[in-house]
């Protein structure tokens, strides 16, 4: 089975369309969504409709999703994120809110775990930027793989024989005796100096994970953000990948 793991779409409809087009050229598989459909971008409703249409097998809540539901205080967010959250909340209807409310915080299967930020108090949405932070999640993992998002920076931490490693290789073979924390990056707002949308593929038949990058129409997305009256920084950062 192939699993297509998407995260941090953030109301960016153009990026989502490009990723789904890329996926459509590949083998049939299941979608897994690990949070933050909304926030920052100008198309939260369009993104929710598209995600509903692809019917992910698992839906995980992100901090911006929780912000819409008053499950996370908006004071948690920086000034740009807070302004975008207030705007997003004003345009979503009850059905869309109820959809976000249906997301779970953590999923644990036989081989992989899904969480938006960290398994260490997942409701606090801690970031995993380094090996020490990855270790807090690894010590709680009961599966060899854990897929995360939240930092908007794609990369893979792995732990074996008392040593932590990290790679940004596009594709790796899985050794199931190790533990892996796989950050799939962001579809809608990458922050790793690569402006292309990012998502991951896990193929359990061949035991491999691939991080894929996809070009999309950034200028159209930027114009929509500005036309909506959202902060200009949320538009300009997209072309810089930060």
Largest separation between any pair of C-alpha atoms in the chain: 53
pLDDT reported for residue 224? 98
| pLDDT (tens digit per residue) in 118-130 | 999 999 999 999 9
Per-residue confidence (pLDDT) for residue 8, from 0 to 100: 98
pLDDT band at 92; cut points 50, 70, 90: very high
Q: What integer pLDDT is reported at residue 12 of this predicted model?
A: 98
Kindly report, residue by residue over 128-162, the tens digit of the pLDDT: 999 999 999 999 999 999 999 999 999 999 999 99
pTM, rounded to two decimals:
0.97
Quick one: the chain helix, strand, coil %, rounded to 5?
35, 25, 40
For 70, the 3-state DSSP assignment is coil
CA 234 to chain centre: 17
Residue 165, SS3 per DSSP: strand
* pLDDT value, residue 185: 98
* pLDDT digit string, tens, across residues 34-83: 999 999 999 999 999 999 999 999 999 999 999 999 999 999 999 999 99
Q: How confident is the model at residue 1 (pLDDT cuts 50, 70, 90)?
A: very high
Q: How far, in Å, CA of 5 to CA of 223, rounded? A: 27
Q: What confidence score (pLDDT) does residue 236 get?
A: 98
Read off the pLDDT of each residue in 220-228 and give the average, rounded to a whole number: 98
Q: What is the mean pLDDT of residues 215-231?
A: 98
At residue 126, the pLDDT reads 97
- For the purposes of burial, counting CB atoms within 10 Å of the CB of 73, is it exposed (0-12), middle (13-18) or buried (19 or more)? exposed
Q: Give the E-state strand segments of 47-133 in sequence order.
A: 58-59, 106-108, 112-115
| % pLDDT > 70, the chain | 100
- Please name the residue that has the structure tokens 């807090």: 136
Residues 65 and 103 sit within 8 Å (Cβ to Cβ): yes
Q: Which of 119, 135, 118, 114 is nearest to 127 (CA)?
A: 118
Please return the burial class of 149, using the count of CB atoms within 10 Å of its CB with bins 0-12, 13-18 and 19+: buried
Q: What are the structural domains, with CATH classification, of the chain?
A: 2-105+146-155+181-240 (3.60.21.10)
Per-residue model confidence (pLDDT) at position 226: 98
Q: Each residue of 21-45: pLDDT tens digit? A: 999 999 999 999 999 999 999 999 9
Can you give the pLDDT at residue 204? Answer: 96
Strands 163-167 and 197-203: unpaired
């Amino acid at each position: 089975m192939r699993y297509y793991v998407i995260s941090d779409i953030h109301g960016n409809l153009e990026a989502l369309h490009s990723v789904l087009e890329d996926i459509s050229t590949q083998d049939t598989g299941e979608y897994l969504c690990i949070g933050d459909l909304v926030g920052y971008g100008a198309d939260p409703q369009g993104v929710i409709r598209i995600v509903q249409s692809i019917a992910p097998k698992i839906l995980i809540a992100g901090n911006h999703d929780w912000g819409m539901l008053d499950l996370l205080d908006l004071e948690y967010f920086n000034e740009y994120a807070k302004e975008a959250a207030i705007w997003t909340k004003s345009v979503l209807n009850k059905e869309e809110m109820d959809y976000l409310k249906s997301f779970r915080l953590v999923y644990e299967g036989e081989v992989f775990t899904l969480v938006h930020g960290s398994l260490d108090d997942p409701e606090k949405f801690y970031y995993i930027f380094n090996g020490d932070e990855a270790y807090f999640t690894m010590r709680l993992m009961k599966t060899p793989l854990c897929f995360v998002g939240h930092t908007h920076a794609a990369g893979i931490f792995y732990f074996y024989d008392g040593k932590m490693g990290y790679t940004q290789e596009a594709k790796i073979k899985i050794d199931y005796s190790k533990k892996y924390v796989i950050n799939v990056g962001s579809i809608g707002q990458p922050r790793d100096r690569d402006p292309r949308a990012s998502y991951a593929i896990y193929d359990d038949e061949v035991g491999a994970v691939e991080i894929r990058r996809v070009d999309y129409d950034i200028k159209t997305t930027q114009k929509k953000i500005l036309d909506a009256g959202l902060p200009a920084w949320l538009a300009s950062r997209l072309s810089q990948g930060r």
